[in-house]
Amino acid sequence: MKNCVIQSLSIFTSKKLVTIGALFLLPLLFYAQGDDKLIEKADERFDAFAYIDARAIYLDVAQKGYASQLLYQKLADSFYFTADLEESLEWYEKLISTYPEDIDPEYLFRYAQSLKSVERYVEADEMMDQFYQLTGGDKRAKSFINKRNYLDFIEMQSGKYDLFTLNINTRNSEYAPSFNHNNQVVFASSRSKETKDSKIHAWTKTPFLDLYSATIQEDQINLQKPVKLKGKINTKFHESSSSFSKDGKTVYFSRNNFTNNKLGKSRKGVVLLKIYRASLIDGKWTNIVELPFSSDNYSVSHPALSADGKKLYFASDMPGTLGQSDLYVVDILGNQKYGNPKNLGPKINTEGRETFPYISDSGRLYFASDGHVGLGGLDIFVAVPSESGFSGAFNVGRPVNSSKDDFTFVLNEETKIGYFASNRRGGKGNDDIYSFKQTEELITTCKQYIQGIVSNTATNESMPGVTLALLNATGNTITETITNSVGQYTFDIECEKQYTVHVAKDFFIPKDIPVTSDDTYEFLHDVPVPLTPEQQPELLLTSVAVNVGDDLGKILQLESIYFGLDDATITPQAEVELQKVISALQKYPELKIEVRSHTDSRSSYWYNKKLSVKRMRATTKYIITNGLINWRRVRGKAYGERRLINDCTDDVPCTEEEHQQNRRSEFIVIK
């Protein structure tokens, strides 16, 4: 999105800052350097957002041998803020290599983004690691750390769109396509003829943006020759980012703060963006009305109507914004009344730039962001509606996304055809519009899979027809499956949860295998299940010597009976093992046992003592009640945390698995 600026009475603001709703108002971080008149002049232009003119002076000074941290910062930023990330790279490299101390962490983020623009992803990730170490709580940093495999996910997501170039593009800028529901695409363009009488940007020498429409051709992909929208909707200032009602008679659009032929400015003298509403009457757009939640002192822009016309989404840097620009939603109440804008929250918004929302007919939110992890610059993301608002953001992958700025995505979900804009290489102008056809569904949930072969350890053969159960963290069955002809099974699971694969087959020792999923998209857990043929309890007892003090659990080859944290519930897995104990007690009437219950070291000594009593009573009650065993043959003892089998004492860091080893029951032979 290069070289497109918004003119105020005396100040110009780059499209990178305002039209895209990205940075809006950049804090003035630096000041003139002493008596150096050239630097002072450049700083004045930089602070007025005239980055191109400022850049020319900074480059001239740098080429004469002048060097300073502030010079490198501003020179790099003058490219970065006009979307010339490749050109900014040289100066960020000089800045960080020459002045490594006391670097503002934000420059590490910008440097990483610049590295991504030339696909130097390994180095970019190294910069993001440093950015995380310095910032910690920054959502952009956390998103990177939590999704270190982001390139793998983007690769899986990629290839789901066929891209097409359009002949409507010019050497200037075309972007922000939208459907007007009359078989036309409306978009913003600075294609006006450049004459001595036309109004031109002082800094970029290009015309201002206006709104144009182009009829969709029969192939549903290409567009016919564009025409400027009729009526009072276009002015001598910028118009962009439109969204139309289903009947095509109402439009919401972005414009410079220009109401009733009067240009408004913020307290700092900057012309910002507002959202306006217009009506189509006799083929012309009229009744231009500024929306009431717009302001002279912050930008509100890039409207997107929901399919039912009851909600309007937009980008803003209003008070309460989490980052440089956030996405908001407001209720449309009717009679030109609106609710209070609501921030879409941290699942969508970051400390970076979230902008250009689009709501599909199914309610999916597409938007552009550089705060979520992507390929570089602005990437397009999708979030699906949920009970709490929206899911997390999912990168839509290549070829829609690239290492450059990709934004203003719209999609007809019925035809699977849509449009977006990009400043990638190979285009005609600063920003070009591309059309696409979606060929596959996107990944919009974090899913993983458990897969493996069930085999007989005695014969090493696979076992078809075996039933397996998938249990959740509390031991409840989620689903079951049966192995196929080659003994293979598969479970679909969610990310970042704990599961147990449970197998119980007649004449085999039951098996419980814990599986913990992380946040890696589409990860496959290879979990083979070797089943050992089971000897009957009576055969086991007759084949070995049994002495007082022996653990019956070991003799019967019981799977460990564990309890959940702070829990005394007999789980389905435990029932299978306790039935073996019952079988042995029924077969040998003289056999008596002591059930010993243990806890881990967490919580207080007396709490653990009480908990182990509950677990002991639950276990003995199950054996006596379900096995019809005389109570005199089964007694219990509760040890609490006194007999840990590992080093997981108080204040010793241990894993959950290590703590679980101590939450156990033993069956000691007393006669």
Residue 36 has what pLDDT?
A: 61
Confidence of residue 8 (pLDDT cuts 50, 70, 90): very low
Residues 559 and 476 both lie in one domain: no
Tokens, residue 29:
């971080």
Confidence of residue 34 (pLDDT cuts 50, 70, 90): very low
Angle at 643 between CA 541 and CA 652, to 5 degrees: 135
Average pLDDT in the chain: 86
Q: Does residue 339 form part of some domain?
A: no
Among 509, 492, 511, 488, residue whose Cα is nearest residue 501 = 511
Give the mean model confidence (pLDDT) for residues 506-513. Answer: 89
Buried b (16+ CB within 10 A) or exposed e, 342-363: ebbeeebbbbbbbbbbbbbeee
Buried b (16+ CB within 10 A) or exposed e, 136-175: eebbbbebbeebebbbebbeebbebbeeeebebbbebbbb
Tokens, residue 121:
């992803």
For the cut 50, the answer to whether the pLDDT of residue 4 exceeds it is no
Q: Does residue 26 form part of some domain?
A: yes
Residue 1 has what pLDDT?
A: 44
For the cut 90, the answer to whether the pLDDT of residue 317 exceeds it is yes
Q: Of 462, 496, 531, which marks where a domain is finished?
A: 531
Residue 671 has what pLDDT?
A: 78
Confidence of residue 73 (pLDDT cuts 50, 70, 90): very high
Percent of the chain exceeding pLDDT 90 equals 54
User: What angle separates helix 37-47 from helix 51-63, to the nearest 10 degrees?
Assistant: 150
Residues 515 and 613 both lie in one domain: no
Residue 93 has what pLDDT?
A: 94
What does the CA dihedral 151, 157, 161, 164 come to, rounded to 10 degrees? -10
Residue 536 has what pLDDT?
A: 54
Give the mean model confidence (pLDDT) for residues 290-308. Answer: 96
Residue 22 has what pLDDT?
A: 32
Confidence of residue 12 (pLDDT cuts 50, 70, 90): very low
Q: Does residue 12 form part of some domain?
A: yes
Tens-place pLDDT, residues 414-471: 999 999 999 999 999 889 999 999 999 999 988 899 999 999 988 889 999 999 999 9
Give the mean model confidence (pLDDT) for residues 79-93. Answer: 90
Domain that holds residue 114: 5-149
Residue 607 has what pLDDT?
A: 83
Among 393, 243, 256, 356, residue whose Cα is nearest residue 1 = 356
Residues 492 and 628 both lie in one domain: no
Work out whether strand 161-165 and strand 432-438 pair parallel, antiparallel, or are unpaired.
antiparallel
Residue 597 has what pLDDT?
A: 84
Number of domains forming the structure of the chain: 3
CATH number at residue 475: 2.60.40.10
- HEC states along 140-190? HHHHHHHCCCHHHHHHHHCCCEEEEECCCCCCCEEEEEEECCCCEEEEEEC
For the cut 90, the answer to whether the pLDDT of residue 645 exceeds it is no
Among 522, 530, 524, 458, residue whose Cα is nearest residue 487 = 530
Give the mean model confidence (pLDDT) for residues 129-156. Answer: 87
Q: Does residue 536 form part of some domain?
A: no
Residue 540 has what pLDDT?
A: 53
For the cut 90, the answer to whether the pLDDT of residue 599 exceeds it is no
Residues 518 and 576 both lie in one domain: no
Confidence of residue 524 (pLDDT cuts 50, 70, 90): very high
What does the CA dihedral 584, 588, 590, 594 come to, rounded to 10 degrees? 0
Residues 493 and 626 both lie in one domain: no
Residue 207 has what pLDDT?
A: 78
Q: Does residue 30 form part of some domain?
A: yes
Show Cβ contacts of residue 451 under 8 Å, excluding neighbours closer than 6 positions.
488, 489, 490, 491, 524, 525, 526, 527
For the cut 60, the answer to whether the pLDDT of residue 250 exceeds it is yes
For the cut 80, the answer to whether the pLDDT of residue 55 exceeds it is yes
CATH number at residue 96: 1.25.40.10
- Among 132-136, 190-194, 306-310, where is mean pLDDT lowest? 190-194
Give the mean model confidence (pLDDT) for residues 612-621. Answer: 87
Residues 10 and 64 both lie in one domain: yes
Residues 598 and 482 both lie in one domain: no
**Cis amide bond preceding 399, omega within 30:** yes
For the cut 70, the answer to whether the pLDDT of residue 16 exceeds it is no
Residue 577 has what pLDDT?
A: 80
Residue 285 has what pLDDT?
A: 97
Q: What is the CA 497 to chain-centroid distance, rounded?
A: 17
Give the mean model confidence (pLDDT) for residues 490-506. Answer: 93
Give the mean model confidence (pLDDT) for residues 87-91. Answer: 92
Residues 502 and 587 both lie in one domain: no
Give the mean model confidence (pLDDT) for residues 106-116. Answer: 93
Residues 140 and 58 both lie in one domain: yes
Q: Of 94, 126, 149, which marks where a domain is finished?
A: 149
Confidence of residue 33 (pLDDT cuts 50, 70, 90): very low
For the cut 50, the answer to whether the pLDDT of residue 302 exceeds it is yes
Show Cβ contacts of residue 582 under 8 Å, excluding neighbours closer than 6 positions.
623, 626, 627, 629
Residue 544 has what pLDDT?
A: 57
Confidence of residue 136 (pLDDT cuts 50, 70, 90): confident
- Among 161-165, 324-328, 335-339, 575-579, where is mean pLDDT lowest? 575-579
450, amino acid identity: I
Q: Does residue 349 form part of some domain?
A: no
What's the residue count for the chain? 671
Q: Of 502, 531, 560, which marks where a domain is finished?
A: 531
Q: Does residue 246 form part of some domain?
A: no
Give the mean model confidence (pLDDT) for residues 145-156. Answer: 87
Among 637, 632, 590, residue whose Cα is nearest residue 612 = 637
Q: Does residue 268 form part of some domain?
A: no
Buried b (16+ CB within 10 A) or exposed e, 427-436: bebbbbbbbb
- Among 52-61, 70-79, 93-102, 180-189, where is mean pLDDT lowest? 52-61
CA-to-CA distance for 356 and 634, rounded, in angstroms?
Answer: 70
Residues 664 and 558 both lie in one domain: yes
Residues 588 and 489 both lie in one domain: no
Residue 25 has what pLDDT?
A: 30
Tokens, residue 501:
């694969």
Residues 634 and 552 both lie in one domain: yes
CATH number at residue 610: 3.30.1330.60
For the cut 70, the answer to whether the pLDDT of residue 63 exceeds it is yes
Tens-place pLDDT, residues 183-242: 999 999 998 755 454 565 544 546 789 999 999 999 989 999 999 999 999 998 899 999
Residue 663 has what pLDDT?
A: 76
